[in-house]
Chains A and B, each alone.
Chain A
C-alpha cells in the first residue's frame, strides 16, 4: 500500500473514487430529472467514454512514457477489444434486428446463411471476455517478438505499428471480413441480458469502467514502482547500457508491450457498449496518434498525467465539436505543436517544476 502512494495520494484517489461511485450514481439515478443537479445520460456517457480513454492513456504511458517506445498501434488494440465485445453484443440482439433473423443484419444483407468461423462461441460472455484479452494480447506478443527481436526501435517502430494499424483498418473495411464492413457493429439491444439503453445499465457500465480505471492505475503504479518498472525506465534512458548490464531488454519490452495492448483491449471492450458503435474508423492512424497526444499533454512518465491528459483533451474535444466544430482541428493541431515545443513534460511536469521552484 504505502509503496504505491503516500497518504495524500490515497486520499486523492479516495475522493476520485467516491465521485465516480457515489456522486455520479446518486445524481444520475436518485435525483429526478426536474432537479438542476440531475446528471443527464449525455454526461454519464461522456465521462464513461473519457474514462475508457484514460485507461488507454495509462497503457500508452506505460509503453511510451516509461519505456520510451511510441506505439502507433494502440488504436488497433483498442478497436480489437471493442470488436471482440461487439461480436458478443451483436449476438445478444437475437432476432430483434431489422430482418428478424438469427444472424446480424449485415450478414443477412450479404446473404450469408451461417456465422463465419471466427464468430464461433461468441454468444457466451466469458468467451468474448477471453477474446478481449487474448486477441490484442497475442497480436502484440507476436508483433513485439518480431519487432523487438530484430531491434526495430524509435521512429521505425512507430512507423511500422502505424502501417499495421492502417492495414488492419483496410481489412476491416472489407465486408468479406465478417465484421460489418464500413458500418461495423451498432444497434445493440442488451448486454448480459440487461437492456442496454436504460439508465441503470448505463450506470453499471459506468461503474465497471471506473473500477477498471482505478484498477489499471494501481496496477500500473505497482509496475512502475517495482524493479521491473525501474528496468523499463532504464531501457528508455539508455537501452544499450541496460543490455550490457545483463538484462534481456527484448523480454522486458515484449512484456510491457503485450500488457499495454491487453489494457487497451479491455478499454475498448468497455467503450463499445457505452458508445453503442464500433467501426473501422477507430483504427485510423489519426486515432492512435491522438492517444499519444493525451499522454504528452498530461505528462509522460506520470500516471496521473496520462489520466489528466485524456480528460483535458477529450473534454476540450467534446466542447469544441459542439460549440465551434470547424475550429477543433486548429485547436488540436496547436495542442500538438505547443505541447511538444513548450511543455515537453506535460501539465504535470510543469506543475512539478513550479512547485520545485517555489520551494527553492
Chain B
C-alpha cells in the first residue's frame, strides 16, 4: 500500500514524465518489486505508462549502467529514448542489457494493459475491459479501478466496476474496508458476488464471517428469484416444444385413433424441409426471412407425405390399432433411411435468422434466448389456428362429425374417406411445423423424430385421448415437471421419473387427465 501511495505522489509531482522509481524498479528489481511497480504505473493511468508496459512485454526495454548512473532505455526501431524523461538518446549506447520479462510478468502486464483500457474513451472498449476485470482481477489494480470509477458515467460499466472494486477490497484491505466491501457485494445480484461471498464465509475473522453470511443470504435470495424465473421460462419453453410435437398427434391419434409411430419422422421431415429452404435462401439477400417460406413449406411437405401414407397404407388398417402401430413403424424406418440416403447420416446445420439469435438478459446470469421465445409464440399461434380450424370451419365440423359417429356422418353425406385424408394431412402438417420449430433449437438429423415419439404419445395419453385442451395442459405440466426435476436431480433422472409417473398415472386413470364422458370410452 505504502508503495502505491508513494508512487501516486511521485506521479503527481512529475506530470510530464513517468514515475522514476517505478520504472527503475520494473527494470532492475526482483519479481515482487516489479509487480508493485506495474501497479504503480497502472495507477498513473496514462498513455505513456501503457506504452512503457507494452515495451517491457515486447522486450524493447534495455538498461544501461554508466559511471554509477542507471538509465532505462526504450529501444525501438534502432532509436533509443530515455524511458523516464522521454528524451532521445543518440546514438544507441553500447553495452546495454535487455530487460527480460518472464511469462508471469508478461501475464501481469497483460492484465495491467487490460485495466488501462478502462480509461478508453470508447464505451465498448471500457465495457469489455470492465467485464474482463469482473471475471477476476489482481487486487493491485484497485487504484486504477477507483480512478476509472470516478470518471465513469455509464451505469452498466459503473456497476460492474463497483463490484470489481468491492471484490478487490474484500480480498486485500483492512478489516473495516473488507466489511464495507462485503456489504456492497451484498447489494449486488450477480453469480460472481455469490462466489466471492461464499469464499468470505470461510474467513477466520468472526465479524467478517458473520457479515459475509448475512450478505450471502441476501444475494442468494435475490439470485433465487432469477433462477426461479429461469426455471419457469425453461418449463414453458419445453412445454411449448412438447405441445408442438404432440398437437399433430392429438389429431391423428387423439381424434382419428391412428397409432402413428411415424409421427416423429413427419416432424423430422418438417425439419429437413426447413433446412432445404434455408439452403435455397442462403445466397439471397433475404436470408433473414427464410422462415416465412420454410414454415408453410414444412407444413405442406409433411402434410403431403402424411396424406400419401393415409391413402396408401393407413386407411386399410382403420379399426386395427395394433396393426397400424406395426405398419407405421415400418413407414418410419423407411422414412429415416430415405432421409439418410438423400441427406447423409450426419446431422445438418440449420442457421438461425438474426431475429432468432441472441436473447434477453432478464436477470443477472439468466438469459431468455429469442429462439425459445419465438417458439413459445409460434406454439400458441399454431394452437389457436388449430382450434379455429376445428371449431369454425366446415372441414373442422366434418372431422369432428366423423370422429363422433362415422356412420351417421356418412349418412348425411360427409365424404368420410376424404375427410380422413384431410384430417391425417392436417395432423402430419402440424408435425411438420413442429419440425420447423425444432430445427431452430438444435441439430437436424435422421434420428430427430425418434426422440420425440415416446414423448408425444405420453403427452397425448396423459392429457386424455380426443381432448385438445388436455393435450395443452399435459404438455405444459410435463414441461414444468421435467424442468423442475431436472434442477433437482439432473436431466436423465428427471426424464425417467416423469415417464414412470405417467405409467402409474395411466394405470390409475387410463382415460387421462380429461376423460371423454359417456359410452364413447369403451369403444
CB of A154 within 8 A of CB of B504, answer no
Minimal beta-carbon separation of B57 from chain A (angstroms): 43
Contact for B503 among A160, A333, A334, A341, CB less than 8 A: A160
Q: Does A336 contact B (CB under 8 A)?
A: yes
Taking a contact as CB atoms under 8 Å apart, the answer to whether B507 and A152 are in contact is yes
When each residue 113-155 of chain A gets 1 if its CB lies under 8 Å from chain B and 0 otherwise, what string results? 0000000000000000000000000000000001101111011
Q: Once the chains are docked, how many angstroms separate the CA of A155 from the CA of B325?
A: 8
Q: Are B326 and A330 touching (Cβ within 8 A)?
A: no
Which chain B positions have C-beta within 8 A of A296? 326
Whether A230 is near chain B, meaning CB under 8 Å from some CB there, is no
Task: Tell me if A159 counts as interface (CB < 8 A to partner B).
Answer: yes
Q: How far is the CA of A285 from the CA of B447 in the complex (A)?
A: 13
B506 in contact (CB, < 8 A): yes
| B341 interface residue per 8 A CB criterion | yes
Which chain A residues in 304-360 approach chain B with CB under 8 Å?
326-327, 329-330, 332-337, 339-341, 344
Assess whether B337 is in contact with A326, with CB atoms less than 8 Å apart: yes
The answer, among B322, B330, B337, B450, for a CB contact under 8 Å with A155, is B322
CB closest chain-A residue, reference B327: A340
Whether a CB of chain A sits under 8 angstroms from the CB of B408 is no
Q: Which residues of B contact A164 (CB under 8 A)?
A: 499-500, 503
Contact of A326 (CB < 8 Å), options: B341, B507, B508: B341
The answer to whether A163 touches B502, judged by C-beta atoms less than 8 angstroms apart, is yes
Q: Within the complex, what minimum Cβ distance (angstroms) separates B238 from chain A?
A: 16
Interface residue SS majority, chain B = helix
**CB-based contact A340/B317 at 8 Å:** yes
Cβ 8 A contact of A70, one of B325, B457, B493, B502:
B325
Known pairs A155-B321, A166-B454; A337 contacts B327 (CB<8 A): yes
Say whether B330 contacts A337, CB under 8 Å.
Answer: yes
Chain B, 490-523, contact with A by CB distance < 8 Å: what is the 0/1 string? 0011011001101110111010000000000000
Q: Secondary structure of the A side of the interface?
A: helix
Quick one: CB contact mask for B309-321 with A, threshold 8 Å, 1 for yes? 0000100110001
Interface status of B17 (Cβ within 8 A of chain A): no
Q: Is B89 an interface residue (CB 8 A)?
A: no
The answer on a CB contact under 8 Å between A335 and B340 is no
Is B321's CB under 8 angstroms from A335's CB?
no
Contact B337 A329 (CB under 8 A): yes
| A174 interface residue (CB < 8 Å to B) | yes
Q: A281 to chain B: closest CB distance in Å?
A: 12
- Which residues 450-500 in B have Cβ within 8 Å of A in the complex? 450, 453-454, 457-458, 461, 492-493, 495-496, 499-500
Residue in B322, B458, B508 with the greatest tally of chain A CB atoms within 10 Å: B322
Q: Please name all residues of chain B whose beta carbon is closer than 8 Å to the beta carbon of A159 when the two chains form the complex.
A: 259, 457-458, 461
Report the minimal beta-carbon distance from B447 to chain A, rounded to whole angstroms: 11
Task: Identify B330's interface contact among A163, A170, A327, A335, CB under 8 A.
Answer: A335
Known: A147-B507, A293-B326. A333 touches B495 (CB 8 A): no
**Residues of B contacting A275 with CB < 8 Å?**
none
Contact A333–B333 (Cβ < 8 Å): yes
Q: How far is the CB of A34 from chain B (nearest CB, A)?
A: 41
- In the bound complex, residues from chain B placing their C-beta under 8 Å from that of A170 are 492, 495-496, 499
Cα A18 to Cα B507 in complex, Å, equals: 47
- Please give, as numbers and ranges, the residues of chain B lying within 8 Å of A333 by CB-CB distance: 330-334, 337
Q: What chain A residues lie within 8 Å of B261 (beta carbons)?
A: 289
Docked Cα-Cα span, A340 to B327, in Å, equals 6
* Shortest Cβ gap from B443 to chain A (Å): 20
Question: A158 at interface (Cβ–Cβ under 8 A)?
Answer: yes
B325: A residues at CB distance < 8 A: 70, 155, 158, 289
Minimum C-beta distance from B308 to chain A (A) = 13
B51 within 8 Å of A by Cβ?
Answer: no
Are B506 and A162 neighbours in the complex by a CB distance under 8 Å?
no
Q: How far is the CA of A178 from the CA of B145 in the complex (A)?
A: 52
B87: interface (CB < 8 Å): no
For the complex formed, measure the closest distance between the CB of A256 and the CB atoms of chain B, giving whole angstroms.
Answer: 17
User: Which residue in chain B gives the minimum CB-CB distance to A168?
Assistant: B496
How distant is the Cα of A156 from the Cα of B458 in the complex, in angstroms?
10
Q: CB of A171 within 8 A of chain B?
A: yes
Residue of B327, B454, B495, B500 near A285 (CB, 8 A) is: B454
Give chain A interface residues in 29-71, CB to chain B under 8 Å.
70
The answer to whether B322 and A336 touch across the interface, beta carbons within 8 angstroms, is no
Measured between alpha carbons, how far is A8 from B323 in the docked complex, in Å?
33
> Given the complex, which residues of B lie within 8 Å of A166, measured CB to CB?
454, 499
Asked if residues A326 and B340 are in contact (CB atoms below 8 Å), the reply is yes
Give the complex CA separation of A174 and B493 in angstroms. Answer: 9
Q: Which residues of B lie under 8 Å from residue A285 when comparing CB positions?
A: 453-454
- B329 CB within 8 Å of chain A: yes
Say whether A340 contacts B323, CB under 8 Å: yes
- The answer for the CA separation of A339 and B317 in the assembled complex, in Å, is 12
Q: Are B492 and A336 in contact (CB under 8 A)?
A: no
A146 vs B331: C-alpha distance when bound (angstroms): 32
- Separation in Å of the A298 CB from the closest CB of chain B? 14
The reply to whether A337 and B340 contact each other, CB–CB distance below 8 Å, is no
Which of A149, A174, A289 interacts with B326 by CB under 8 Å?
Answer: A289
Docked Cα-Cα span, A167 to B500, in Å, equals 7
CA distance in complex: A146, B504 (Å): 8
Having A160-B506, A293-B330, one finds 20 other A-B pairs with CB under 8 Å, namely A70-B322, A155-B325, A159-B461, A163-B458, A163-B499, A164-B500, A167-B503, A174-B493, A285-B454, A326-B337, A330-B334, A332-B330, A333-B333, A336-B327, A336-B329, A336-B333, A337-B313, A337-B331, A340-B330, A341-B327
7 A–B pairs (Cβ distance < 8 Å), ordered by A: A151-B510, A155-B321, A160-B461, A289-B329, A329-B334, A336-B326, A337-B331
